[in-house]
Chain A
Amino acid sequence: MLLASGLTIIFGILNVPNFAQGHLYMVAAYLGFYMVMSYAVNYWLALVLATFALGILGVVVYFLVFYPIRNAPEVNLFVGAMALLMILEGGALYLFGTETKWFLIPWTRGVLSFGGLSLQVQRLIVIAGTVVVMTALWLFIKKTSLGAALEATAQHREGALLCGIKVSRISAMAFVVGTALAGFAGVLIGPAVLLMPTMGMGPLLVAFSAIIFGGLGSIAGAMLGAVLLGVIESLASGYISATYSLTFVFGIMIVTLLFRPKGLLGKEVWRP
């Protein structure tokens, strides 16, 4: 479903190599789950709380993990992200066990039908939320100077430095915004899917495929890729096979890499 597109935007635009994003989303989903199910917190409130909570978690993670190693070779950052992923997944496995959980809210089972097409209510909410976030992000990046700084840093770090942009602060901000959005996504999408400690992996890969498909270095591309892939994935789920839909999406990414490495709208990303 268009679940994927929401996540893609959220993960992809900020160009921070944090593989743990998927797992942060997972954490948020569980957080929301417990808030709503165990503590009877209102769903919408939980949504807001989770976003903030993950944002704070993002700050903590940034200062514990990424800030200390920011000057190390790039690979170390990936390893750090990986370590974070392992910690989150391991922790979740231990705390929550391997059985899946259903995140139930009053209208989860509700279905709206119009014109022969029936959609789960929650999925509509997801789509709505995604559109809102996408638009907000787009406006932010394209219309504000802070957003422009973000885009500049993502495309060319050194150039941004030369222009006087405080790259480290922007990166930190990007990171935190990214985690906050993962929080939002977690509670938004949680009710629509099964909760498992490994639930973050699939969306992460789809998000990533969308970025490649849509084009490296282009925000519009990432968004377009996300939407297209989301559609393709749901079609694949329906007509081919649900289990292999991820494989299919991944296959598209590989084909893109082989034949058109820049993706649909990719720009030549300057590498020093």
Chain B
Amino acid sequence: MKKVLSPMRIGWSLALVLAIVLPLVVGEYMTSILLLIAIWSIVAVSLNLLYGYTGQLSLGHSAFFGIGAYALGLIAVKLHIGFWPAFFAATAITGLFGFLVGIPALKLRGPYFVLVTLGFAAIVGVILLAWVDFTGGANGLAGMPRPNPLPLPSGGSLRFDSLLSMYYFVLFFLVAISLICHRLVHSLIGQTFIAISHDENLAEALGINTMRQKLISFTISALFSGMAGALYASYNVVISPDLAHFARGMDVLACLIVGGAGTMAGPVIGTFVMMAIPEALQIVPSLKTFINGVILLLFIVFLPAGITGGFKALFSKRDIQG
């Protein structure tokens, strides 16, 4: 069990304060960027649970993101159901997909698993584009609802019309999901995940039902990615099939690895770095995949433990898992 060092707690608190305060000082444009970073961080965190802590490399999480987004859209818009039930339904549906896909996929190991997840993402992309009656095809869906106002105990209500309110809404989920993952990972269940990521055969020999544990990890991971997708849909009001394009999944994975998989800070740091810097440097969008690929390549060859891994190596003499 890794003890949470005091410097870590300080770091997290600072980051949280910064995250809360920043949008109040920077302009609308930057806040919208931060919001997007937060949403994709949620996906990175969920992917971290599956990859960083359970050792399964999934290239298919873009599909879960897309499913979450479209589920919200279809349920809310076509079935005229309010935001909150639709939101939870969309999350649950994505979790279900995760469960169903996980069952055959997790029977495979190594490159085969990776390819199946990639295939799943490709298929979902195709379906979202092609099933025009259902999904609106290339034009996507519009009219995603914002969260309904929440009644406050002091009277009045919490409204989500503004950008700022949506930002805090997303931030709330980022923090909550990170907390859940943190608890999961530092529990006895988390230990089985980590054991599987280190040596699946040994874990199995010790009596761990590796299939079941992997499936749990996979389903939860898919569920949170779906939640992120639904959040995105709500914020953006419009969604289209290229949300679920597998390249997005690879981008998120790149963010995760650059930040440092297998740590709690890694996904957030990585997503921030990989998304904020191109913005700052005004990089042409069409070059993004290329640059992400190059950065990923450099990291995986020279610093596979990512940014957080680099820091740890710098500041600590003890051997720590990369």
Contacts and interface: CB of A to CB of B under 8 A. Distances in A.
State yes or no: do A and B touch (Cβ within 8 Å).
yes
B118 A205 contact: yes
Contact of A258 (B104, B288, B297): B104
B300 A208 contact: no
Contacts of A85: 250, 293
A246 B115 contact: no
B160 to A, nearest CB: 35
Interface string B146-180: 00000000000000000000000000000000000
Nearest to A255: B104
Interface string A195-211: 00000011011001100
Contacts of A244: 126-127, 130
B115 A93 contact: no
B123 interface: yes
Contacts of B297: 65, 80, 83-84, 87
Interface stretch (A28-36, A42-50, A66-74, A153-161): A66-74
A83 B293 CA distance: 4
Contacts of A257: 104-105, 107-108, 116
Contacts of A208: 112, 115, 119
A202 B294 CA distance: 23
Interface residues of B, number: 45
Contacts, number: 123
Q: Is the interface of B mostly helix, strand, loop or mixed?
A: helix
Interface in A32-91: 65, 68-69, 72, 74-76, 78-80, 82-91
A89 B254 CA distance: 15
A94 B285 CA distance: 9
Given A85-B250, A90-B287, A80 B301 contact: yes
B130 A19 contact: no
Contact of B112 (A90, A212, A246): A212
A82 B296 contact: yes
Contacts of B301: 65, 68-69, 80
Contacts of B288: 90
A205 B122 contact: yes
B263 to A, nearest CB: 16
A17 interface: yes
B55 A75 contact: yes
Nearest to B113: A78
B13 to A, nearest CB: 32
A253 interface: yes
A89 B249 CA distance: 14
Contacts of A84: 293, 297
Interface in B278-306: 286-294, 296-297, 300-301, 304
Interface string B245-263: 0110010011001000000
B111 interface: yes
Given A75-B57, A208-B115, A83 B296 contact: yes
A271 interface: yes
A247 B300 contact: no
B290 A90 contact: yes
A209 B51 CA distance: 23
Nearest to A245: B126
A261 interface: yes
9 contacts: A75-B57, A76-B300, A78-B110, A80-B300, A82-B250, A83-B294, A88-B293, A90-B287, A212-B112
